[in-house]
Amino acid sequence: MVSKTTSDDRRLSRLNAQRVRKARRRRLEFRRMKPKCQSETDVGVGTGVDEKEEKSNVEDCSTEISLSFSSSSPSSSENDAIPAKKTEVARSFPPPSYGTVSVIGRRREMEDAVRVELGFWSGGGERYDFFGVYDGHGGVRVAEVCRERLHRVLAEEIEKENCGGGGGWERAMKKCFGQVDDEVVSGGWCRKENGAVNTVGSTAVVAVVGGEVVVVANCGDSRAVICRDGVAVPLSNDHKPNRPDELNRVEAAGGRVINWDGYRVLGVLATSRSIGDQHLKPFVISEPEVTVSERTDADEFLILASDGLWDVISNEVACQVVRRCLDGQAGRIQKIENGRSSHAIEAKSRVAEAATLLVGMAMGRGSRDNISAIVVELKKPKTGNFCE
């Protein structure tokens, strides 16, 4: 009797020890996300880490977070930005506050990329800011090309189409995506690093934010959502192979959509549009769908994110989380510094806190993909003169 009781006690002790280890492992997963708050002049390529750091993070296979935010200062987020036209521009609004987060998550390799360019183009008495999220597949090479090239090509196309005059946004976006796709294919960026197969590509969702307009272009299954008066309004429609119109387009081009661990073009790719993926053309195209929305007083914020977020979080929940953060209702994110707990993010950077919370929630809900998110505050200031 004594031996049986002792055996049960040992078994119970082992179970308790296993539970403690699992709980500790979950806490460590989130602690490995290291917030890096930066001023907008320090953002670099938009992810807040240089290429060497990014590669080391991938090699370590740890969950590393890159976070940045902007204040309302008039300087550009990128010193190497190439505006198509530098003029004296009267701005009715200051640069928007934004937060960006990009994590490797539970993947072995980091294939996402993000880009923020404040004041990337000026024209028609307006100043425009650029935000982009790129979700690579088969490797990060195409996503990196998009990060470095797409906003530059777009600035040139906007100038050609005279978008500052009020129109031409859809043409400019489609020409831009087409040109970057041509550069990727002709430059051999679709190939694996060993040069074997043309299987590398990237989705792209980008937003151009001006004082009176928000323009979103999407190619793939990343997504843009705007919150208007508390309501989540999608500004893009995911390009999934089983979407009826996309399915018809792929089949009309001679391709097939096969349900192989999810619907995939030729049983390979889980998105029906992307930049790159030379071996899947003409079934997978690079033409984006574009929405042009006038900014209103009801606009609160914009969320751009890769499918690593949207696979586990709905538009409505994402907007509720961000709204609570911007209203100061969410619990403060903290970090451990020299053994002491301190606020990682100040109140002025609540957009960065919101982006961090979204990514942390996606990981907590079991997302197994890379996760990238940008949150942009859109509320128009009620007072003050921001004209230059």
Other beta carbons within 10 Å of 106:
16
107-126: pLDDT as tens digits: 999 999 999 999 999 887 88
Residue 382's pLDDT band, with cuts at 50, 70 and 90, is low
pLDDT of residue 19 exceeding 80, the answer is no
Rounded alpha-carbon distances, angstroms, from residue 185 to 26, 241, 252, 282, 288: 41, 22, 23, 13, 17
Number of H helices, E strands in the chain: 8, 16
Please name which of 306, 322, 350 lies closest in space to residue 103, comparing C-alpha atoms. 306
239-261: pLDDT as tens digits: 999 999 999 999 999 999 999 88
Structure tokens at 380: 């128009």
Q: What is the 3-class SS of 12-27, one letter each residue?
A: HHHHHHHHHHHHHHHH
Distance from C-alpha of 298 to C-alpha of 317, rounded to nearest angstrom: 19
> In this structure, is the dihedral angle defined by the CA atoms of residues 137, 141, 142 and 143, taken in order, positive or negative?
positive
- The more confident residue out of 31 and 338 is 31
At 47 the pLDDT is 33
Q: What percent of the chain has pLDDT over 90?
A: 57
pLDDT of residue 89 exceeding 70, the answer is no
At 57 the pLDDT is 37
Domain boundaries, the chain: 33-236+290-377
0.85 cut: is pTM over it? no
Q: Which CATH superfamily is 33-236+290-377 part of?
A: PPM-type phosphatase domain (3.60.40.10)
pLDDT of residue 85 exceeding 80, the answer is no
Distance from C-alpha of 244 to C-alpha of 248, rounded to nearest angstrom: 6
Residue 197's pLDDT band, with cuts at 50, 70 and 90, is low
Among the residue ranges 8-17, 109-118, 361-370, the one predicted with the least confidence is 8-17
Q: What percent of the chain has pLDDT over 70?
A: 68
Structure tokens at 152: 């530059």
Distance from C-alpha of 13 to C-alpha of 29, rounded to nearest angstrom: 25
